[in-house]
Amino acid sequence: MLDAAIRHTAGDFALDVAFDSPGGTLVIIGPSGAGKTLTLKAIAGVLSPGAARITLDGRILVDTASGVSMPSQLRRVGYVPQDYALFPHMTVEGNVGYGLRGLSGAARHARVDELIDLVGLAEQRKLRPRALSGGQRQRVALARALAVRPDILLLDEPFSAVDAPARQSLIEDVAGVLARTATPTVLVTHNRDEALRLGDRLAVLIAGRIRQLGSPAEIFSAPADEEVAAFVGVETIAEGRVETIADGLASVRVGDHTIEAGGEVTPGDPVLVCLRPEDVALGPRTEGTATSARNRLPATVRRIVPSGPWLRVEMDAGFPLVALITKQSLEDLALAPGSPVLATFKATAVHLIRK
């Protein structure tokens, strides 16, 4: 259990955050310059915050009020900075074993072997960081941080230094490692896909303040304010389970409905069904409306919120569903809260994220 309240000013920038993480992975998501890295550094103890109280599993890491600041080396935090900061003068083994000096030779070797196997770098173990790819470096950094069995793992933009093609599989690797070691984690990112894939809870950090803290579905379907909405993008996010796969299309059970969607999943997978509101079309609930869309869901309008030139229509289809329509459509359809509508969208518009 991490409990953090941090206030810190650096020049014009003021950070003022308070959040907790009961376990699992907390993703702090926000645009660059929001104070994400500062937050991590304050927890890691490599930055002295102006005023803070941070506790980890009941241990006080920092309490400026009582003048307590535990040295970094005693905090039991695993810190993976954005550029990984691998020790260039050491091999993969040397890096992974850096924090294990307290162990005996044999125990140390065993632990290094264990971690190297965990991240799958057995072949690279004698290489120096220079000779590794971005993804390999990231895994070394992860193994090095996990080797000391930290009480919490702090990952700063772990995928930003990796090429896009390699990123997806790396995200899966990291998800697997985190699941296997069951280490509580705080991960900061500006990327929504990473947040959705890895986060059990999300904290949206904008301009030094936490704007919203909650489950990914809560935050993406019901952003707390305009700025959060503008940053995360409004989306329908519903939890479901893959039932069958046919012709490359997955049938996903979401509540009472079955949604057709593209995506590389296997039957039985729990998934998040993501749908951008501009991809959702609304029509009257009459039979025989000509459309090529695979998915046709009856829904009830809950709320209509102006959003720039558009209107955001929040509906209930057994799960929260959002659509963006023009003022003209609103008038044509004569929509108001409580109106029944038919929401339609293509299978290809659905984005599945495996959980």
Partner 1 sequence: MTTRTTAERTYSIQRTGEVALAAIACLIAFVFLCLPIVAIIEKAVRDTSFFDVVSSSEVTDALRLSLVTTSISLVLVVVFGTPVAYVMARTRFPGHALLDTLIDLPIVLPPAVGGLGLLMAFGRRGILGEPLSDLGIEVAFTTTAVVMAQTFVASPFYIRSARAGFEASGEELEHVARTLGSSRTGAFLRVAVPVAMPSLLAGAVMAWARALGEFGATIMFAGSFAGRTQTVPLAIYRLLETGVEAPLVLSTVLIVLSFSVLLAFRLLLRRALLTL
Per CB under 8 A, residues contacting partner 1 are: 41, 44-46, 71-73, 75, 77-81, 83, 85, 87-89, 98-99, 101-102, 128, 130, 144-145, 148, 150
- Return the exposure string of 61-87: e unless at least 16 CB atoms fall within 10 Å of the residue's CB, then b: bbbbeeeebbeeeebebbbbbbebebe
Query: Which CB atom, from 40 or from 317, has the smaller least distance to partner 1?
Result: 40
- Is the Cβ–Cβ distance between 19 and 26 less than 8 Å? yes
Which residues, including other chains, have CB under 8 Å from residue 117's CB and lie 6 or more apart? none
Query: Which CB atom, from 72 or from 258, has the smaller least distance to partner 1?
Result: 72
Query: Which CB atom, from 150 or from 208, has the smaller least distance to partner 1?
Result: 150
Query: Which CB atom, from 80 or from 301, has the smaller least distance to partner 1?
Result: 80
Query: Which CB atom, from 102 or from 268, has the smaller least distance to partner 1?
Result: 102
CB of 108 to partner 1, least distance (A): 13
CB of 43 to partner 1, least distance (A): 10
CB of 132 to partner 1, least distance (A): 13
CB of 9 to partner 1, least distance (A): 16
Query: Which CB atom, from 142 or from 219, has the smaller least distance to partner 1?
Result: 142
Query: Which CB atom, from 66 or from 130, has the smaller least distance to partner 1?
Result: 130
CB of 252 to partner 1, least distance (A): 41
Strands 25-29 and 201-206: parallel
CB of 280 to partner 1, least distance (A): 44
CB of 36 to partner 1, least distance (A): 15
Query: Which CB atom, from 115 or from 261, has the smaller least distance to partner 1?
Result: 115
CB of 142 to partner 1, least distance (A): 12
